[in-house]
Each structure stands twice: as C-alpha cells, then as structure tokens.
Amino acid sequence: MISYIRGELAAVQEQKAIVEAGGIGYGIYMSQQTLSMLPAVGEEVKIHTYLNVREDAMQLYGFLTGEDLQVFRLLIGVSGIGPKAGLNILSCLSPDELRFAVLAGDVKTISSAPGIGKKTAEKLILELKDKMSIEDVLEQAAHGSEQSKEIEATDTGMQAEAVQALTALGYGSAESLRAVKKVSVDCASVEDLLREALKNLL
C-alpha cells in the first residue's frame, strides 16, 4: 500500500498530476479542486494516495490532506460508487460541502456531480449520514489556551445554527456552508452571523 508520495511536481494534466519521486514519475488522478490547489510545476508536493487495483489496471488517486483521503474512502465504501465517481463528487464539492450536503439530506447538490443520479445520491446520504457529524464540518483546529478553545467551540456552534437556519430558508446546503464560512467568527450572536451570511447569498 502506498500511503503517500513526496516528490517534485513534474506536470499537471487534465485529470492527474505527475509526481517524480526516486526517479519514478507517478501518475496520480485527482479532483479538479485538488489539481487547482497544487503548487507550481517543479516544486515539492506531498500527496496522500489511494491505490485502486483492478484486473486490468492499477491506479493512484491523490489528495492534499489525509482528511480528504478519508472522505474519499467513505465515498467509495458506498455500494455503486467507484473511485472515478468519488473523484467526480469531490471535483464538484469540497469535503466540507459534501459532509453538510449528506447531513442536510441535500440530494440535489450531490446529484449535481457528473455520473451521480438521484438514486445514487439518496443511497450515499443513507449510508454516510451516521458516519459524519456537523462538528466535522465546522470544527476548527484547537490551538492555544483553553480560553481560545472555548471560544472556538462557541463559534462552531453558532456557525452550525446559522447554516441550519439558511437551509431552512430554502438555500442549498453547500452554498449556505460557503456563505457562513466567509463571515468573520467574531459575531456576537447567531442572528448577527446569519445577517452577514445572507449578504454573501444576495
């Protein structure tokens, strides 16, 4: 099993990146979002990988973080979703957006990915809902003092409430999440956070 590859980014193609490590050029399939976040060709990268072995091929799928790889593993664990379909979903939705779409039961957002129909989206939501939580979507890394951790926990709770309020108003889960995450987390209340998030949606 290849857990990750660290080396020089040799080239970026339409669906994959070529990373040279130890004199070998590895072709690694990636989502469009991940490809757009890669550094310039010639710079060093570390790619977390999933090796898919089939009778006729061995393919590497790559991600910039272990968290993204974990979400990909959850996706391909759903019956009917293979690595290519999983990558299509992550090309349209970030891992955070996917988590919230699952938790909100947002079939429309998930089925917007190429090759993902309504029934597949419904199955994905059903199978992954218990494996994800709102805290996974909105939690921030806990650094610093205990006081800062308490503040972060409060902010996360406010963000969660604001996102849920926006979806109740009829906004899509993915766009609601984006709007709330754009707002500075120093709002005094959920109402203030909601007011600012709505500005990002208008």
State the pLDDT at residue 147.
34
Tens digit of each residue's pLDDT (9 = 90 or more) over 34-90? 999 999 999 999 999 999 998 888 999 999 988 889 999 999 999 889 999 999 999
State the pLDDT at residue 100.
78
State the pLDDT at residue 33.
87
- pLDDT above 70 (res 8): yes
CA Rg value for the chain: 19
Is the entire prediction scored with pTM above 0.75? no
Tens digit of each residue's pLDDT (9 = 90 or more) over 138-181? 553 333 333 333 334 445 677 777 777 877 777 777 777 778 87
The mean pLDDT of 181-193, rounded to a whole number, is 72
Domains of the chain: 4-64 (2.40.50.140), 66-132 (1.10.150.20), 138-202 (1.10.8.10)
Tens digit of each residue's pLDDT (9 = 90 or more) over 105-134? 888 889 988 889 999 999 999 999 888 765
State the pLDDT at residue 97.
81
Q: How far apart are CA 45 and CA 29, in angstroms?
A: 14
State the pLDDT at residue 52.
93
**Higher-confidence residue: 197 or 63?**
63
- Sort 38 into a burial class: Cβ within 10 Å, 0-12 / 13-18 / 19+: middle
